[in-house]
Amino acid sequence: MDTLSQHHQLIELLYSGVTEASDWKQGLMRIAQMLGSEHAAITSVNRANQMSVVSENTGLPTECIQAYSDYYCLKDPAHRVVGQIPLGGWYVDQFHLGEATIRRSEFYQDFMFTYELKSLIASPLNRDQQHEQYLVIQFSNEVDLPDLSANSEISLILRHLQRAMRIQQRLSATELDNLTLRTSFGQLNLPALILKDNGKILHINPLAEGVIAHHPNLSIINGVLCCGFASQALSSAIQQACGVVGPAQISSVRMPGEDQISVIAFPLKPDHLGALIGKQHALILFARHSSQEFKELMVLEQVYDLSKAEIRLVSALLNGLTLDAYCLRHHKAMTTAKSQLQSVFRKVGVDRQSDLIRVLMPILMIT
């Protein structure tokens, strides 16, 4: 296999390694071999305390990784220099530290040399205010350092490694957000589901499944919530909640039938329910008007995660009280009330009191 084909195969390993751990490990090994080594690691560093975690490695014994993470990461003299290396550049210990510093270093004398490692090079891959990630290549006693200045191929591979890592991080973040969403969503004590603006169901809890299964005018067809005779009204309510046809707001559809169920569509902001799922989504709740399950306080607490004090404030404003009148009635300082109101704005996803009332007023009309 020629060099170009080998590079293409390595790049394919990096991208397939986003979801396949064995391909990722093999890709790291290939990078190490390109540079004349059998050892490679992806290291994450907390910039505040310099604590490091080896998230990926190949060719290094477990006890070496453990010793580095437990203690020797704090003794690594590279920390003083590598943070100044630009992304894609290289830190070379023999050049940036020098032989004299290496001979005096506890990190090298008690750690590196113990595991028959003579020197290392590192390239910053990702960096933000809190963390840095590096590709680190370690070299054994009998291996000389490569000439990085003349190695354009490794620069190309590094760019693909950076991209693959960003994809991997986004995928991990999405999985975490979905897990958080499912956990938070499952804690709602109301029949609820989350829809896209086209009615496609993203999440549904067992209570909502039960309501749909037993209601003659509700059904799920090809993953879309359907509403029988009120399908057009339901579609309109969902689009209003998603902000497709104007400012996002709560709306409801009263279902025909003896059980007096309403379908209520809430705007679902990116930070509702502890998840980042985008703007074009609606939280759907089913309310039985003949019962006590769908009451204003429950909705404000469960859907918007408002505290008891914030709920009292919102209820007062929805019922026509001014902020001054609320403070006077409840013996609250104005600064406290304003602070609570700002917290409510953030949780509901609005910037002004008028928008807050516009969004939440339909709750009074429903209940």
What does the DSSP assignment read for 10-60?
HHHHHHHTTT-HHHHHHHHHHHHHHTT-SEEEEEEEETTT--EEEEEEES-
Report the pLDDT value the prediction gives residue 354, as an integer from 0 to 100: 85
Report the pLDDT value the prediction gives residue 276, as an integer from 0 to 100: 39
Query: Which phi and psi angles does 76 have, rounded to 5°?
Result: -70, 115
Under-70 pLDDT residues of the chain:
1, 141-146, 149-151, 171-189, 228-230, 245, 256-260, 269-280, 288-303, 362-367
Report the pLDDT value the prediction gives residue 186, as an integer from 0 to 100: 58
Q: Name residue, tokens 């296999």.
A: 1
Q: How many helices (H) and strands (E) does the chain have?
A: 15, 12
Q: Amino acid letter at 319?
A: N
Beta bridge partners of 194: 203, 283
Report the pLDDT value the prediction gives residue 171, as an integer from 0 to 100: 66
Report the pLDDT value the prediction gives residue 252, as an integer from 0 to 100: 75
Domain annotation for the chain: domains and CATH numbers: 3-177 (3.30.450.80), 189-294 (3.30.450.20), 296-367 (1.10.10.10)
Query: Which phi and psi angles does 55 have, rounded to 5°?
Result: -80, -30
Report the pLDDT value the prediction gives residue 293, as an integer from 0 to 100: 40
Predicted confidence (pLDDT) per residue in 184-236, tens digit: 565 566 788 888 887 888 888 888 888 888 888 888 888 888 876 667 788 88
Distance from C-alpha of 289 to C-alpha of 307, rounded to nearest angstrom: 25
According to DSSP, residue 237 is labeled H
Report the pLDDT value the prediction gives residue 302, as an integer from 0 to 100: 64
